Chains A and B, each alone.
Chain A
Amino acid sequence: MKQFSYVITDPVGIHARPAGMLVKAAKALDSTITIEKTGGKSATATKLMAVMGLGIKQGDEVTVTIDGGNEEANLQTMEQFFQDHL
């Protein structure tokens, strides 16, 4: 299990479009990926409604957990995704 933290810079937070892209990216990977809003709830990254339900906004810190599969490579992919899109 691997984790990283990230502070959201996207001005609208994780809303429909970024959430959709995140779900798509997460689905492509062979690990179970979980997003937890620091001090808030957590959600499986492949569940669109759940991800959007976290209500993550700009400036919020999230912890992303990667479990099973090729954790090392998937961690890098996810980190890259967050930096590019969120």
Chain B
Amino acid sequence: MKDKIFGVLQRVGRSFMLPIALLPVAGLLLGIGSSFTNQTMLETYNLTGFIYEGGILYTILDIMNQCGSAVFNNLALLFAMGVAIGMAKKEKEVAALSGAIAYLVMNTAISAMITARGGVEAMAPNSTASTLGITTLQMGVFGGIVVGLGVAALHNKFYKIQLPQVLSFFGGTRFVPIVSTAVFVVVGILMFFLWPIVQTGIAMLGNLVIHSGYVGTWIYGILERALIPFGLHHVFYMPFWQTAVGGTAVIDGVTIQGAQNIFFAELASRATEVFSVSATRFMAGKFPFMIFGLPGAALAMYRAANPEKRKIAGGLLISAALTAMLTGITEPLEFTFLFVAPAMYAVHCVYAGLSYMLMHIFNVGVGMTFSGGIIDLTLFGILQGNAKTHWIWVVLVGLVYFCLYYLTFYFMIVKMDLKTPGREADDEETKLFTRSDFKAKTGVGPDGAASASVSDPVSALILKGLGGKANLSDVDCCATRLRVTVIDPNKVSDALLKQSGASGVIHKGNGVQAVYGPQVAVIKSNLVDFMETPESDHLDNLAAAPAPAPAAAAPSKEAPSKDTILSAPMNGQVIPIAEVQDEVFATCVLGEGIAIEPSEGKLYAPADGVIDNVFDTKHAIGILTEDGVEILLHIGINTVQLNGAHFELHVEKEQQVKKGDLLISFDQDAIRAAGYLCTTPMIVCNTDDYQSITPIAQGGIQAGTPLLEVKG
């Protein structure tokens, strides 16, 4: 049960990432726009001659300011759609549409209820708000998250629904927005009665948080850091940043809830004289330890590294430290010591908590879009002026923190002999090596690796480490880690995942998180693409024999012999060509080859090449491979007579294809029902150009496995 909750929370947390990723850009617009339209600031920097109300520059900056605000003001809608996308298992675009419509419907229903019950005046003070022009209950991002979760649940249940024939047009994914609309009319009405109770609860909680004072801030800081290893920090801080738990304020006559919302509303407002520390206490604490403290820790690890390994450890640590300083993405650095030295991480949590508390005590009013790097400090601290933000304390405390982290960590590493980067025993050195290898590979890109037998060795390794495609329930990622839900956690191999470049792996029930750093989005996309190819079905074969396959394929490019290996074009049983129930094929009139009795109605390219021939009847295809082999793939015997029925062609003549690309899909049951065999010969038409054509596999086979050896 606990594991299940973790799995769900993990998915909710990562579904926040899509809308959250937008915040830095919105913050940039808002930060620059509001800074340079602020009268005090313009006067301070003597800019009133260039930027003045009514001038072009001022208007542009004002537009930036307001457009940035638009994102923060409509965050609930973004969450309704983003969470629906994140939680939907398939056909995510439909979930997004349903999320948007359900959000509008729910708020409109609430609005109508408010009107029917005597209007806004009859409601509790500060309990209503205007969202997208609809007067509704003040729900903040919670409203959006409720919609997102609800719609995703409906979506996952109904997106494949089959309706009776007359209504079949409305079946499947089309049913999802329909049912979402209906359900959220009811949810809206219920919310009108239930939400005020929740509001009271949140208000009480918020009250408690405000009265918790400095100690409360300290605990908040510790918890926020301590949840990072579990990936649950987004779920934790979101209520503080986005709902009344993090405070309520009235700015320019509008009620604003949530620490981050308050900060950005104050930023956009011309009336702000000092930023509310009651809001920024949940944010400002990140700056000292991210910009100063963690780099101090990195220096400590560098100095503590064995001299001969310092250079390699240094490269790793500098890039991680710079990432933390600039963007506030600290996980690459934190994970370098979290796994090898949990005690250091515990100390880090306490220091981080103290940092939050100190910023609170010193009235530092610097907010952030999503983390505490130099970029955010500049925009929302320095540019706003010390009078408004007291940002100077970030630097003062930060300098102390740099020394504190450096000394504490250096002391701990040396005294406790912790195996931080560059201090591993000699046989463990591989960890750093594979990481740099991996980086070289990602530099080449997914297509650059096409000459090897596996088109994407990194993804293959990751997939194998996760226990194969069949073991995955879903795959996603956040800022730095690949987040996967697996069916059997015992099949996951940490060693393989680390070999693929992960700096750490976290298990919690069925949830697995592999930490790759900021490039994880690319890794995830490659992995998902890779899982679409037939190669991903038979990792064992490939991984077991990776060496001979590239050796056979590599010389084919330059060597005159033109030896090459063709892969199986489909899943099924290998049948010797002589046993094919068709004389023309069996007697090799067309050329030598092999046949497969398919178990799945999909034909894939057996090698890289160009489509030489397609037929109107769609049951056969000719490919000229890069190595000059003319291949004929012919699905079924006498199936030309079906005249195209039950076949679907996915490529066209002259099209370049890669090994494993889907060429033709077909309905094998329908073809067999029509009285035809599905046996599919793969023939080398220019057999005369080669010395020998030999099958190298038999029995059951998976598409993509080496099948036919062609020797020149």
Contact residues in A for B617 (Cβ distance below 8 Å): 12, 15
* A49 touching B622 in the complex, CB below 8 Å, given contacts A20-B590, A24-B589: yes
If the complex has contacts A24-B589, A48-B590, A52-B622, are A16 and B616 also in contact, measured as CB distance less than 8 A? Answer: no
Contact of B640 among A15, A20, A48, A55 (CB under 8 A): A15
Please state if B613 and A16 are interface contacts (CB–CB under 8 Å): no
* Contact A48-B584, Cβ < 8 Å, known A15-B617, A16-B634: no
- List CB contacts (< 8 Å) of A1-42 with chain B: 11-12, 15-17, 19-21, 23-24
Nearest chain A CB to B363 CB, angstrom units: 80
B613 pairs with A52, CB closer than 8 A? yes
Prevailing SS type, chain B contact patch: mixed
Given known A-B contacts A17-B582, A48-B632, A52-B622, A23 and B615 have beta carbons under 8 A apart: no
List the B residue with the shortest CB-CB distance to A53.
B613
A22 closest partner in B (C-beta): B589
Q: Is B612 an interface residue (CB 8 A)?
A: yes
- Give A23 to B686 CA distance when docked, in angstroms: 11
**Also in contact, A49 and B613, with CB within 8 A (given A20-B589, A23-B589):** yes
A-contact bits for B393-436, CB 8 A (1 contact / 0 none): 00000000000000000000000000000000000000000000
Q: Would you give the shortest CB distance from B94 to chain A, in whole angstroms?
A: 40
B620 at interface by CB-CB < 8 Å = yes
* In the bound complex, CA of A23 to CA of B632 (Å): 14
Whether the pair B620, A16 counts as a contact (CB closer than 8 A) is yes
Tell me whether B616 and A55 are in contact (CB under 8 A): yes
User: Contact between A48 and B620 (Cβ–Cβ < 8 Å)?
Assistant: no
* Closest B residue by C-beta to A24: B589
* Interface check B320, CB cutoff 8 A: no
B667 to chain A, nearest CB (A): 20
Cβ of A13 to closest chain B Cβ, rounded Å: 9
Given contacts A12-B640, A16-B620, A49-B622, contact A55 B590 (CB under 8 A): no
- The answer to whether the Cβ of B630 comes within 8 Å of any Cβ in the partner chain is yes
A55 to B613, CA, bound (A): 9
- A21 partner residues in chain B, CB cutoff 8 A: 584, 589
Count A interface residues, CB 8 Å: 17
Mark B474-503 against chain A: 1 for CB-CB distance below 8 A, else 0: 000000000000000000000000000000
B contacts with A, residue count (CB < 8 A): 20
Q: Assess whether B591 is interfacial by the CB under 8 Å rule.
A: yes
Q: Give, as a whole number of angstroms, the nearest-CB distance from A54 to chain B.
A: 10
Say yes or no: is B685 at the interface (Cβ < 8 Å to chain A).
yes
A28-73 contacts to B (CB < 8 Å): 47-49, 52-53, 55, 57
Q: A12-B641, A52-B622, A53-B622 are in contact. Are A17 and B612 (CB under 8 A)?
A: no
A49 touches B584 (CB 8 A): no
A55 and B589 form a contact (CB under 8 A)? no
Residues in B neighbouring A49, C-beta threshold 8 A: 612-613, 622, 624, 630, 632, 685-686
Give the chain A neighbours of B624 by CB distance below 8 A.
49
Write out, one digit per residue, whether chain B residues 269-302 have a CB within 8 A of any chain A CB (1) or not (0): 0000000000000000000000000000000000
B642-692 residues with Cβ-Cβ distance < 8 A to A are 685-686
Q: How far is the CA of A66 from the CA of B104 in the complex (A)?
A: 76
Cα A23 to Cα B589 with chains together (Å): 8
Chain A residues with CB under 8 Å of B641's CB are 11-12
B window 594-618: CB within 8 A of A = 612-613, 615-617
Rounded to whole angstroms, the CA-CA distance of A65 and B686 in the bound complex is 22
What is the bound-complex CA distance between A21 and B583, given in angstroms? 10
Known: A48-B590, A49-B622, A53-B622. A16 touches B612 (CB 8 A): no
Q: Within 8 Å CB of B685, what residues of A?
A: 47-49
Q: How far is the CA of A53 from the CA of B685 in the complex (A)?
A: 13
Q: Is the CB of B584 within 8 A of A16?
A: yes
Instruction: Quote the shortest CB–CB distance from B257 to chain A (angstroms).
Output: 69
Closest residue on chain B to residue A12 by CB atoms: B640
Q: How far is the CB of A86 from chain B (nearest CB, A)?
A: 14
B651 to chain A, nearest CB (A): 15
Contacts of A55 in B (CB 8 A): 615-616
Measured between beta carbons, the chain A residues less than 8 angstroms from B620 are 15-16, 52
**Interfacial chain B residues near A23, Cβ < 8 Å:** 589-590
List residues of chain A with CB within 8 A of the CB of B589.
20-21, 23-24
How long is the Cα–Cα vector from A52 to B685 in the complex, in angstroms? 11
Residues from chain A with a CB closer than 8 A to the CB of B584 are: 16-17, 20-21
B615 partner residues in chain A, CB cutoff 8 A: 15, 52, 55
Chain B contacts for A15, CB-based, 8 A: 615, 617, 620, 640
- Please state if B630 and A16 are interface contacts (CB–CB under 8 Å): no
B residues 623-646 near A (Cβ < 8 Å) are 624, 630, 632, 634, 640-641
Name the A residues within 8 Å of B622 (CB-CB): 49, 52-53
* Alpha-carbon distance A57/B643, docked complex (angstroms): 12
A-B contact pairs, 11 of them (CB 8 A): A11-B641, A12-B641, A15-B615, A15-B617, A23-B589, A49-B622, A49-B632, A49-B686, A52-B615, A52-B632, A53-B622
Known: A48-B591, A53-B612. 7 other contacts (CB 8 A): A12-B641, A15-B615, A16-B590, A16-B632, A20-B584, A21-B584, A52-B615
Binding site for A on B (CB under 8 A): 582, 584, 589-591, 612-613, 615-617, 620, 622, 624, 630, 632, 634, 640-641, 685-686
* 6 nearest A-B residue pairs (beta carbon): A20-B590, A48-B685, A20-B589, A17-B584, A12-B640, A24-B589
